[in-house]
Structure 1
Amino acid sequence: MINRRHFTLAAGASAFGTSALAQAELLRIVVGFPAGGVVDVVARELGEALKVTTGRNVIVENRPGAGGRLAVMAVKAAPPDGNTLLLTPSSIMTLYPSALNKLPYDTLADFAPVSTVCQSTNALAIGMHVPARTMGEFIAWCKANPKDASYASPGAGSAPHFLGAQIAKAAGIEMLHVPYKGAPDILVDLYGGRIAAFVTALSNAVQPSRDGKMRILVTTADRRSAALPDVPTVREAGFPDLAVTEWFGLLAPAATPAPRVAAMHAAIEKAVAAESVKKAFGQMVLDPDATAPAAFSNRIRADLDRWAGVARSLNYQRVDAT
């Protein structure tokens, strides 16, 4: 588990003086996952820096449940005054609409994009019992061992599920998808030789790879990860259409005034550039990134279209949100 500092963020020196951001005492960052996880740590590291760049008190509020959707609904219902922000991975806002029916929110209608804060990449890793060192060798092994060709993901309709299915389709192989509730159970079966492969956030695979417990074949970013410079990307492995990164971003309720959104993005941009934040993100294999509201909105629309196309290409049948 990632170590984190427990804190309630106190007011710091204001970067905006008597600006709109400094007029309200408290800024809430709502996270849809438990304390100690990656999204929570990102929120707290960012909040530490935001106390300086906004001059405000900042708290991180964990609202885990329903795959992150409880936090989404809490922010949707919050007053649009710039005092409440949702920190979320992109899949909840851009993939869920293609994976789930009856979502209680509309990504485009209910939220105002404020800023991305970092980018994450996924990876395809295999168990050490699979005698492959390259993507080509793994594809050949799957064809020779169709009954053993399988991959795990943290759930049906998740980004790793879709990515694994895309890899199999592009490679012309059959891989059984095995959904799990979380990474710990997946690792037990991967290490035990019961699952051949694992599609996951790179941050979950770096240390086990270094420890010799799994082998990472490819990552899904456009460029190689600084954490694993010897591991090729899917583009280098011959699958350019599979290159994709996941953003972590901050969104406000839809009616939040544009000047407040712009001022908050400026504060976030400075916070993301802080050395402490860059160091913390690097330790989690995340790339700092503060995309401005207009470009962030365009990215969201493009990602919605991308995942809708992926779902159609895979003939994925959406299930009801629970």
Structure 2
Amino acid sequence: MRLAHLKRFASILALGVGLAVATGPAAAQQPVQPNYPDRPIRLVVPFAAGGSTDIVARIIAAKMSEILKQQVVVENRAGAGGNAGAAAVARSAPDGYTVLMGTVATHAINPALYTKMPYDPVKDFAPVSLLVNVPNVVVVHPSLNVKSVKELIDLLKANPDKYDYASSGIGTPLHLSGALFESMSGTKMVHVPYKGAGPALLDVVAGQVKIMFDNLPSSIGQIRKGGVIGLAVTTKERSPAAPDIPTVSESGLPGYETYSWNAIFAPAGTPQAYIDILAKAGAEAVGDPAVKARLADLSAVSVGSTPAELDAHVKAELAKWGPVVKASGASINE
């Protein structure tokens, strides 16, 4: 009898241990399906349709659909500077069928800008692939009579707080690109926020504001027409879309670098097998010659990173932008 009781106790103990394991962290992982993906994948763009992130996402999604042999459907979910869509993905089932087209805003700037964040950019997401980088550009009205970043810095240092610079809004990457420029160059300008980059650029072309930090795709047409002067792009290397425009770093402010970027993220807990499949498809999509050419027309530079490389990129961007946001004084309480 004692032996029977011991065996029964051992069975109950084993069952209890098994249940404890099943309800632990490993339970968060979805079971891996060998035929993934076997239905459409939602790619959430956390901004309105027609913007640069949306356009890039649709180009890449179309090619990924071919590669994965399943539709990658773009869904726009705008609001709170990208936070609404990002939070929705963070709360989604980690099954590989809902992913986010994240940006420098959702994963680097907003965490420092918003006093209340609905997600953690590192803990709540599994990085998949950094797809493209999009350069910014420093543009000035021709009447400012400066031809280089060095000349602009000299003018601003001689006239602190005299000149305005336009941006697409408080706390946006374009605003903070200007704030970083001020911090690194020791200059002071007056920030003039607009409701979007389009209206801001129109006023710069009209000469109402003399300086702007803009996305290169938005300004390239006016630069070519002579409506504004493109002093420098903000990336480490010159843009293939505008090879005659030097970088900020090489033309008067060494070490300066800002740019927008687009990357795919999945909810935390998504099986690594799915992450790897998505990362491979994303890298293959942006590496396709036709897709690469279309992205280049938009001044977007194809990357196609590994998940580990995107993870390191996000952490570096968070470390970079946090102090810039703090120094700018920008804060949104939502």
Q: Secondary structure at the match of 1:260?
A: helix
Q: Secondary structure at the match of 2:144?
A: coil
Deviation at 1:290, TM superposition (A): 0.8
* Equivalent residue number for residue 318 of structure 1: 331
Aligned residue runs from structure 1 range 5-20, under 5 A? 19-20=34-35
Aligned residue runs from structure 1 range 1-322, under 5 A? 19-22=34-37, 24-146=38-160, 148-312=162-326, 314=327, 316=329, 318-320=331-333, 322=334
Deviations 1:203-233 (A, max 9, x none): 1111110011001111111111112222111
Distance 1:85 1:300, change over 3 A: same
User: Between Structure 1 and Structure 2, how many residues are aligned?
Assistant: 302
Q: Secondary structure at the match of 1:36?
A: coil
2:60 maps to amino acid? L
Contact 1:118 1:286 (C-alpha < 8 Å) held by counterparts: yes
Q: Could you tell me the TM-score, scaled by structure 2's length?
A: 0.86
Percent identity of the aligned residues?
32
Q: Secondary structure at the match of 1:124?
A: strand
* Equivalent residue number for residue 7 of structure 1: none
Q: Secondary structure at the match of 2:242?
A: coil
Q: Secondary structure at the match of 1:69?
A: helix
* Aligned mates of 1:170, 1:34 — CA distance in 2: 33
Contact 2:179 2:328 (C-alpha < 8 Å) held by counterparts: no
Deviation at 1:51, TM superposition (A): 1.5
Deviation at 1:32, TM superposition (A): 1.4
2:117 maps to amino acid? L
* Aligned mates of 2:184, 2:284 — CA distance in 1: 40
2:35 maps to amino acid? A
* Aligned mates of 1:230, 1:134 — CA distance in 2: 13
Q: Could you tell me the TM-score, scaled by structure 1's length?
A: 0.89
Q: Which runs of 5+ in 1 are unaligned?
A: 1-17
Contact 2:177 2:258 (C-alpha < 8 Å) held by counterparts: no
- Tell me how large the CA RMSD over aligned residues is: 1.7
* Aligned mates of 2:278, 2:148 — CA distance in 1: 44
Give the number of the structure whose alpha-carbon radius of gyration is greater: 2
1:130 maps to amino acid? L
